[in-house]
Structure 1
Amino acid sequence: MRSSSKLSIGNVVSRDSGGSLVEQIVRSVACRIDDKLLRTGARMPSIRQFADEQKVSRFTVVEAYDRLVANGYLESRRGSGFFVKERASLLNAANPAMHEIPSSQQPDVVWLVRNMLRQLPPQKMPGSGLLPHEWLDGELVANGLRSVSRLNQSLLLHYGTQQGFLPFRQQLQLKLAELEIAAAPEQIVTTNGVTQALDLVAREFTQPGDTIFVDDPAWFLMFGTFATLGTKVIGIPRLHDGPDVTKLAELAALHKPKLYIIHSVLHNPTSTSLSAAKAFQVLKTAEQHDFMIVEDDIYCDMHPGTSVQAATRLSALDQLNRVIYLGGFSKTLAANLRVGFIATSRETAIRLADRKMLSTLTTNEISERVVHKILSEGHYRKHVDRIRTKLDNAREDVTTRVERLGMKVEYRTPAGMFLWVDTGTDTLALTEKALEKGFLLAPGSLFSPHQLPSNHMRLNVAAMSDKGIWGFLENELSSSF
């Protein structure tokens, strides 16, 4: 039976967030309806009540409600107000897997990725893997786009080249040389981000039934990607200085993996980096058991690379013989550019370029030209310097506040955007409660191939500026310690 009770939906607007107040209200209410936090038939607050609660004008609420009605989220009943509209048939017709989360279903990898893509204000997503928009340089990207748009139009209308825009690959050669990785342009293949790079490599080197090693914890998205290929994913315990090499050797002898995916520098989600001693041991084990190593270095530019904070990369030690290097710019420039790349041997690069051509023809040369311009004109270096400074300040502040709440920061690292914290309570339950308050957390279970309950979670230090998340954590965790 439909409820007709009036409700309060909590704070949905922020003066510090991007977008107009109307857009924020529409986005937040729609998300709450999609996530079943506002049930079908529930009566929305009156225009006056909503305006008073959110401290906005009644005209703003009227326009927001009208947009929600137009998009099928609300229905207006003359003399009675606005009510949440039944959307099940519409959503199921479009895509039954989207938007609907049964109350009995626990968060999983797809759930987290879908919610990360909902375009919530960054300060409402402390579990996300992106920097807030205000930390990035939209004008830098816009200038690149304007410059590319002034090129001869014929250059923008054809397919890109199979391996990627050559001047961009030449620029990447210089970038890799700074990391002591020798890679000619012929050894580099551009991709639609690191996600596509991982998919191409996995398809090239594995078949259904093969084993892929990953760190545990590790970047969650690849678990689902590899599962669709029919491969077996096994986690290698990650320590403060890299993987547990004893366990790596034992499991390699037992399972004979084809690939080992690893973050050498600023590991996601712990922000730890590989020590030189561990790097040599990993390479030795890979040679002994004949598996390839895929080094995901997407957070490369968030590490200062100084002697004080030395960074050891397997690709620099191996020079792309047994190690395949992946990089990209979604974390530091714009996620929407989707510009990544693979550096590997010439023979492997040719095979991967062919595989890329068969799956997507070519990558987006316009985006590659934009990133090339930003890199080649020297603006990028200053941009990432500013990001690192902001991260350093935020990391220190967030670490201190987290520990005051009784949580344990597993590894106090000198760089990176993540903290891996022990909350002392089941973070799946904590995540569900946070979502009811409009915040997105990243529970630790999602970062393990086993997906078992965990007290850990990943915090993005750049996305912890909202006072509401601190109040929520304090209230929920006060009884856990």
Structure 2
Amino acid sequence: MTLVDQLVNWACLRIDERVFRPGVRMPSIRALAQERGISRFTVVEAYDRLVAQGYLESRRGSGFYVRARPALPVQAQSVLPDNRNIDVVWLLRSMHHTVSPERGPGLGYLPPSWLDGDLLSGALRSLGRQNGAQLLGNGTPQGFLPLRQQLQLHLAELEIGAQPEQIVMTSGVTQALDFILRLHVQPGDTVLVGDPSWFVMFGRIVAQGARAIGVPYTLEGPDMTALEALVQAHRPKLLILNSILHNPTGTSLSAARAFQILRLAEQYDFLVVEDDIYCDLCPPGLAVTRLASLDQLKRVFYLGSYSKSLASNLRTGFIACAPEQAKTIADHKMLIGSPTPEINERLLYRVLTEGHYRKHTERLRTRLDTVRDKAHRALERIGIRALVAPPAGMFLWVDTGVDTNVLAAAGHEDGFLLAPGSLFSPTQAPSTWMRFNVACSGENPAVLDFLARQIERAA
């Protein structure tokens, strides 16, 4: 963008987020030009554009002032948080709207610059050369059969035996979890989740009228003493876990812990949902244990997706489970809507079968290894310690020593997106911990400088 474009975008963002409120006088042309090291003509042109777009009004002899604008629709607003109203909706809105990856250690995905657009565009061109009539059908409830056959091969590499009829395609892991909750959880039921764990599912559980109860997490997975006590007390319907590269801690289940979980599930008759969305960020040689490989889909629902490794808007995921469960889910999928878009599934099938996807994920893992170590050391230098130095993945779970709700609010004012620890607990209690995405901000000194200043100020 030109300097004028950059200045206009900077001002619009601050005004939309109400950092610059209606009636506030903008910096003078001379002051802003000096501060930014640009010419006064650039500032004048930017201010004139902002006046034309309705953001500013010019008062002769006085300067430029922020103009009161009609309220935005609720779904488009970006509300400035404070340490009382940090919430999941705010974080999700900010992830999708306001923050560039290099200023977003709280983001939950890889930067677009890391991903391979040519991989997708090549698959799209290949798909476009097919007979167009093949793209006009309704699709099937379980999803595109050749893709499910390809996923069967993928699961076999993970030592999970699944026939194509045991795999149901979904619009991402979130929809997969929705299907399972709708079919197996009733109002008043209990669902156990990790504490900390992926925050989006808390709202999904509550929407079913159920209770989400957190199980304390250790470096090897759930604390088994606490888990057994909670199972005995609440008799849950489901236990939901990230088994590999757990979000947010980056840890993975040990083999012993996986066996213990399955033993409890059988003893107390509850089902286990294994979310393995970070599967392809885990090196093939890393010693990890998946619950589905031990259970062979008798009691475990195994969820996967390619949104983290290909593109966040490629909403194509899947559930692998017992045959009778898969049939029930496919029937339910038809009742609440229609088959998932087969064009997306055909596109994913092309990506997975044209031979370049494995090298792409190898490059991602190598790059993550480089920035993860650097970010870990840099955070330690400013007094932020990580729970563990994970051997793979994009997240560090770090203790800042201060209330990260306050950090997140301060970061919002300065244009940074942080993910405070309170969001990752079903209790939403204030926390000194936060999730740090090494891919988005691990090499940005501005993020580290901001954190160092805020921590020093709090001390």
Question: Aligned-pair distance for 1:427?
Answer: 0.6
Question: Structure 1 residues 283 and 28, CA, compared in 2 at 3 Å: closer, same or farther?
Answer: farther
- 8 Å Cα contact 2:80/2:412 also seen in 1: no
Instruction: Please tell me whether residue 150 in structure 1 is matched to residue 129 in structure 2.
Output: yes
Distance 1:349 1:278 in 2: 27
Question: Aligned-pair distance for 1:103?
Answer: 5.7
Instruction: Please tell me whether residue 182 in structure 1 is matched to residue 164 in structure 2.
Output: no
- 8 Å Cα contact 2:78/2:94 also seen in 1: no
1:358 maps to 335
SS at match of 2:155: helix
Instruction: Please tell me whether residue 301 in structure 1 is matched to residue 280 in structure 2.
Output: yes
2:446 maps to 468
Question: Structure 1 residues 374 and 54, CA, compared in 2 at 3 Å: closer, same or farther?
Answer: farther
Question: Structure 1 residues 81 and 336, CA, compared in 2 at 3 Å: closer, same or farther?
Answer: farther
- 8 Å Cα contact 2:271/2:299 also seen in 1: yes
Question: Structure 1 residues 79 and 444, CA, compared in 2 at 3 Å: closer, same or farther?
Answer: same
Question: Structure 1 residues 58 and 328, CA, compared in 2 at 3 Å: closer, same or farther?
Answer: farther
2:267 maps to 288
2:355 maps to 378
2:318 maps to 341
The number of residues matched between the two structures is: 458
1:434 maps to 411
Question: Aligned-pair distance for 1:95?
Answer: 2.8
- 8 Å Cα contact 1:160/1:365 also seen in 2: yes
- 8 Å Cα contact 2:215/2:223 also seen in 1: yes
Distance 2:39 2:113 in 1: 26
Which amino acid is 1:473 matched to?
Answer: L
Question: Aligned-pair distance for 1:146?
Answer: 2.3
Instruction: Please tell me whether residue 263 in structure 1 is matched to residue 242 in structure 2.
Output: yes
Which amino acid is 2:186 matched to?
Answer: Q
Cα shift readout 1:378-406 (whole Å, capped 9, x = no counterpart): 21110010000011111111111111111
Question: Structure 1 residues 120 and 67, CA, compared in 2 at 3 Å: closer, same or farther?
Answer: farther
Select which of 88, 107, 124 maps to 1:109: 88
1:31 maps to 13
Q: Which stretch of structure 1 is more off in the superposition, 442-451 or 94-103?
A: 94-103
State TM-score, norm by structure 1.
Answer: 0.89
Distance 1:431 1:86 in 2: 27
Q: Which stretch of structure 1 is more off in the superposition, 277-286 or 37-46?
A: 37-46
Instruction: Please tell me whether residue 407 in structure 1 is matched to residue 384 in structure 2.
Output: yes
Structure 2: gaps (5+ residues)? none
Question: Structure 1 residues 269 and 64, CA, compared in 2 at 3 Å: closer, same or farther?
Answer: farther
- 8 Å Cα contact 1:233/1:449 also seen in 2: yes
Question: Aligned-pair distance for 1:228?
Answer: 1.5
- 8 Å Cα contact 1:34/1:100 also seen in 2: no
Select which of 105, 108, 117 maps to 1:129: 108
Question: Structure 1 residues 29 and 231, CA, compared in 2 at 3 Å: closer, same or farther?
Answer: farther
Instruction: Please tell me whether residue 478 in structure 1 is matched to residue 459 in structure 2.
Output: no
Question: Structure 1 residues 147 and 23, CA, compared in 2 at 3 Å: closer, same or farther?
Answer: farther
Question: Aligned-pair distance for 1:28?
Answer: 4.0
Question: Aligned-pair distance for 1:67?
Answer: 6.0
Which amino acid is 1:90 matched to?
Answer: A
Cα shift readout 1:63-103 (whole Å, capped 9, x = no counterpart): 7656655665444556655432323x432xx3378434476
Which amino acid is 2:339 matched to?
Answer: T
1:228 maps to 207
Question: Structure 1 residues 420 and 100, CA, compared in 2 at 3 Å: closer, same or farther?
Answer: closer
Which amino acid is 1:198 matched to?
Answer: L
- 8 Å Cα contact 1:27/1:120 also seen in 2: no
Select which of 113, 122, 139 maps to 2:118: 139
State TM-score, norm by structure 2.
Answer: 0.93
Question: Structure 1 residues 311 and 33, CA, compared in 2 at 3 Å: closer, same or farther?
Answer: same
Distance 1:217 1:330 in 2: 22
- 8 Å Cα contact 1:305/1:311 also seen in 2: no
SS at match of 1:143: helix
Question: Aligned-pair distance for 1:167?
Answer: 1.2
- 8 Å Cα contact 2:56/2:67 also seen in 1: yes
Distance 2:43 2:334 in 1: 49
Root-mean-square deviation (Å): 2.3
SS at match of 1:142: helix
Structure 1: gaps (5+ residues)? 1-18
Question: Aligned-pair distance for 1:121?
Answer: 1.4
SS at match of 1:252: helix
Higher RCO (CA < 8 A, seq sep 6+): 2
- 8 Å Cα contact 2:172/2:318 also seen in 1: yes
Distance 1:22 1:361 in 2: 47
Distance 1:411 1:397 in 2: 14
Question: Aligned-pair distance for 1:36?
Answer: 2.0
SS at match of 2:287: coil
2:288 maps to 311
- Consecutive aligned runs of 4 or more in structure 1 exceeding 6 Å deviation: 57-60
Distance 1:311 1:102 in 2: 39
Distance 2:47 2:135 in 1: 41
Instruction: Please tell me whether residue 321 in structure 1 is matched to residue 298 in structure 2.
Output: yes
Distance 1:201 1:401 in 2: 41
Question: Aligned-pair distance for 1:43?
Answer: 2.7
Aligned residue runs from structure 1 range 443-462, under 5 A: 443-462=420-439
2:190 maps to 211
Q: Which stretch of structure 1 is more off in the superposition, 181-190 or 320-329?
A: 181-190
Select which of 8, 23, 27 maps to 1:41: 23
Question: Structure 1 residues 29 and 377, CA, compared in 2 at 3 Å: closer, same or farther?
Answer: same
1:11 maps to none
Distance 1:466 1:78 in 2: 41
Distance 1:246 1:480 in 2: 36
